[in-house]
Structure 1
Amino acid sequence: MGRWIERWEPEDESFWNEGGGRRVAARNLAFSVLSEHIGFSVWSLWSVMVLFMGPAYGLDAADKFFLVAMPTLVGGLLRVPYTFAVALFGGRNWTVVSALLLLVPTVTAAFVVKPGVSYGELMVVAALTGVGGGNFASSMTNINAFYPLREKGWALGLNAGGGNVGVAAIQLVGLLVIGTAGAAHPRLVLAVYIPLIVVAAVLAALFMDNLAPVRNDTGAAVDAARDPHTWIMALLYVGTFGSFIGYSFAFGLVLQNQFGRTPLQAADLTFIGPLLGSMARPVGGRLADRFGGGRITWWNFLAMAAATGVVVAASQAKSLAAFLVGFIALFALSGLGNGSSYKMIPGIFQRKAEARGLTGEAAAAHGRRLSGASMGLIGAVGALGGVAINLAFREAFLHGGSGTPAFVAFLAFYAVCFAVTWAVYLRPAVRTAAATGMAATTAATAYAEV
């Protein structure tokens, strides 16, 4: 498969601005967003399908929460191999393949989803949709290689945000189908997405490129796994992206089971949160470019804790209006934090390269090597946070009939993330050591400006 670019030096401003680098990167970003958008929609398919599953399917609330957790689990695990597929096969080539793989769960669901189907069969089909979650890792790794450090926050935020909108998009399609054809026709949702998958694959084949300088490097994966910042950022990403994807899958079920909403009433509201969270992601990246990812992420966790407090109070008061305000604020803040925390990753590894004495393109190449590898691990752990959220809701509704205990647990976790962000990236002692070059091989090489 062709379209390989042999020379790629985005940190060289002449190459970027006058040599066509920016134009090529923007073209690849546009079609990467499209493919990732469809991938996220397929990954989120079961957050919509469960709204169609009435009494004829014989599922209770706990069954449905477990069902929507399955795609999150598989998608999180697939993010690791998808990350390295970019360097092994080429970004363009893998985008085409990963898009076509989305036909497997959608076509299978079209044959399987109907009253009388066994719960085991539903779990298998739900697991297949995890391939849509893997798309995020390969797409972000690919776009990370295309853009210079000074623009990564915006580019990665736009790429991920455009993908995240796929969650809201499929929920809007579900709302349209339920509102017009009724809750007995889930196949109409699939009829919309199967042709879109083919279109995304064809456009990626026609207009995207592979970067020859991006080589498969298993040593980078080992180095990234050994670096403590990979796992610190994974923890923070559980708090941001884990919240976004977990809440996206669970929102409709929470509304139905805690506030007695019908499928149509739930579908009327479920798309709002994911839409706002997706739109906020590039904003978080842009703010991180300007003010530093550490600072924006730290303040964001404080705001997420406050919004969770509103949700807990609203749950206890049984106030749907206040609950929606707090929950939708959580979506927007999780999106903002996704953008700011992901911007931190290439910045951290760039600083570590500079601390080793590397400069210019050598430092940039080292930073791209480790940040690309770490993104797969961080993205995988972050997605698994979504599994934890759905399982926490399952236990809360199974034993208490309310999501309040789960939200209290989430509040405690955001407090931990807030403290970790401060301790590792914002404490004055850490920033001073980093700025003066002390402890160059330790965590002190990363600070607020990343």
Structure 2
Amino acid sequence: MSATQTDDALAAELKSGQLRNLLLATLASTMGFWAWTIIGPLSKTYAANMDLGAGQTSILVAMPILVGSVARVPVGALTDRYGGRVMFTLILGIAAPLVLLTAFVGQMNNFGLLVFVSFFLGIAGTVFAIGIPFSSSWYEAHRKGFATGVFGAGMVGTAVSAFFTPRLVAALGYMGAHVLIAALVALMAVICWLGLRESPTRRGVEHTPIMPKLKDAFALKETWLLCFMYAIVFGAFVAFSNYLPTYLANVYEFDPTAAGTRTAGFAAAAVVARPIGGTVADKIGPKIVSITSYVGAAVLAIVVAFQPSAEHVYGPIFILMALFLGLGTGGVFAWVARASEPRTVGTVSGIIAAAGGLGGYFPPLVMGATYNEAQNSYFVGLTLLAVFCALGLVTCFILRNGGKVDDRTAATA
């Protein structure tokens, strides 16, 4: 078979399987994110039952984010080696019983034990490091921004969690809701094993040991710059998606269901914007998309810091902030595709995804620590977000390969 015929056959095989595998991976990510963020929507309930202060509540909300961030590095590297089908099945299979364990411990009203279990619940958040290389490998170089953007929409799981978790608890009871969610996550693990298949581009790829890949990835200046950029936009998204119910309860006195509904709207807006950011980055380059994101988020963070009192004012502001953050997550990860080789994209993606998760770990702690109870204000925390967005803006002008490139000669990651 000639080289042309081989290329045509590969292109046809990619075309026939790419959409189905991308959508399944996105659905798997949605379920993983739901399990990962199941504690945030119930934070007010936990705080009331255990008599927790703002600092303790922020620790509880942030704890799953920690392991869900750090563990993305080895999970991304393992995805390079074993593929997305195996890793999606494994991670979701582990997450399902952890959801049940969270329910059992949550009923005991033991803060220390719940924090301990929520740490391991964070494993569910590593699905992101699996899906980026998996979905990217199914698409041509000039459509990888689209692929990773669509897969990134799986972070809608945070919106699903915020909207449905309090309602399921109200309808089925605390334990019943967790049993249903665990069953759905387990079912998704089975679907991944039966329905996913690896991209034909993985055939014949030499699987080198994990540690040399990690060493090479960490040696790149671009890896560190992208880690910082992604930690800001994705970190802010994760932080708000988890801490916004607490914020709305403290500042505007919403109950868990009402706060969850509004948090779901925030997360949904970011989810919609993410694939748009990736697709636009394919067309005009990730630099412009990222600049737009940082400028918009910085300005709106300052506005929110002054706590406008009317919901018809602060509601649209939060939605706009979510849109800017979503654009940024899509734009920054489109940039990743220009700095990685196909055989290491899982490793590099895992590192950068971990940075994004860690970016979401610290803000809830900062928000809790800087909360001015006397003035009922989060001014310091929101101002810090604006400062970091300004630093991200500066980084956009340091990182190279951010402009539009010929889609046939673009980096193949």
- Within the candidate set 187, 191, 205, 1:199 is matched to 187
**Aligned position for 1:360:** none
In the alignment, structure 2 segments of 5+ residues that lack a partner are none
Deviation at 1:178, TM superposition (A): 5.4
Tell me if 1:186 matches 2:161.
Answer: no
**Aligned position for 1:287:** 280
**Aligned position for 1:272:** 265
**Aligned position for 1:159:** 151
Deviation at 1:415, TM superposition (A): 0.6
Is the Cα contact below 8 Å between 2:167 and 2:257 reproduced in 1? no
Is the Cα contact below 8 Å between 2:277 and 2:326 reproduced in 1? yes
Instruction: State the distance in 2 between where 1:152 and 1:345 align.
Output: 10
Tell me if 1:208 matches 2:187.
Answer: no
Instruction: State the distance in 1 between where 2:348 and 2:119 align.
Output: 25
**Aligned position for 1:235:** 228
- Within the candidate set 335, 338, 341, 1:347 is matched to 338
Instruction: State the distance in 1 between where 2:176 and 2:372 align.
Output: 31
Instruction: State the distance in 1 between where 2:90 and 2:23 align.
Output: 17
**Aligned position for 1:361:** none
Compared with structure 1, are the counterparts of its residues 120 and 398 closer, same or farther at alpha carbon in structure 2 (3 Å cutoff)?
Answer: farther
- Within the candidate set 141, 144, 157, 2:136 is matched to 144
Is the Cα contact below 8 Å between 2:41 and 2:256 reproduced in 1? no
**Aligned position for 2:382:** 407
Aligned residues: 400
Is the Cα contact below 8 Å between 2:47 and 2:57 reproduced in 1? no
Is the Cα contact below 8 Å between 1:86 and 1:138 reproduced in 2? yes
Aligned 1:56-75 pairs, distance under 5 A: 56-75=49-68
Deviation at 1:250, TM superposition (A): 0.6
Tell me if 1:248 matches 2:241.
Answer: yes
- Within the candidate set 124, 148, 167, 1:132 is matched to 124
Instruction: State the distance in 1 between where 2:298 and 2:320 align.
Output: 11
Cα RMSD for the two superposed structures = 2.6
Query: Matched residue of 2:114: which SS?
Result: helix
TM-score, normalised to structure 2, is 0.90
Query: Matched residue of 2:71: which SS?
Result: helix
Compared with structure 1, are the counterparts of its residues 137 and 123 closer, same or farther at alpha carbon in structure 2 (3 Å cutoff)?
Answer: same
Deviations 1:110-133 (A, max 9, x none): 32212x521111101211210111
Is the Cα contact below 8 Å between 1:302 and 1:415 reproduced in 2? yes
**Aligned position for 2:256:** 263
Instruction: State the distance in 1 between where 2:157 and 2:226 align.
Output: 24
Deviation at 1:108, TM superposition (A): 0.4
Compared with structure 1, are the counterparts of its residues 30 and 424 closer, same or farther at alpha carbon in structure 2 (3 Å cutoff)?
Answer: closer
**Aligned position for 1:326:** 317
Instruction: State the distance in 1 between where 2:167 and 2:401 align.
Output: 46
TM-score, normalised to structure 1, is 0.83
Is the Cα contact below 8 Å between 2:96 and 2:183 reproduced in 1? no
**Aligned position for 1:421:** 396
Query: Matched residue of 1:423: which SS?
Result: coil
Deviation at 1:13, TM superposition (A): 5.8
Deviation at 1:227, TM superposition (A): 0.4
Q: Which amino acid aligns with 2:165?
A: G
Q: Is 170-179 or 124-133 further displaced after alignment?
A: 170-179
Deviations 1:419-440 (A, max 9, x none): 110233489xxx79x99xxxxx
Compared with structure 1, are the counterparts of its residues 370 and 94 closer, same or farther at alpha carbon in structure 2 (3 Å cutoff)?
Answer: closer
Deviations 1:190-245 (A, max 9, x none): 13212212221111111212444442443332111100000000111011111111
Query: Matched residue of 1:415: which SS?
Result: helix
Is the Cα contact below 8 Å between 2:76 and 2:129 reproduced in 1? yes
**Aligned position for 2:350:** 376
Compared with structure 1, are the counterparts of its residues 323 and 178 closer, same or farther at alpha carbon in structure 2 (3 Å cutoff)?
Answer: farther
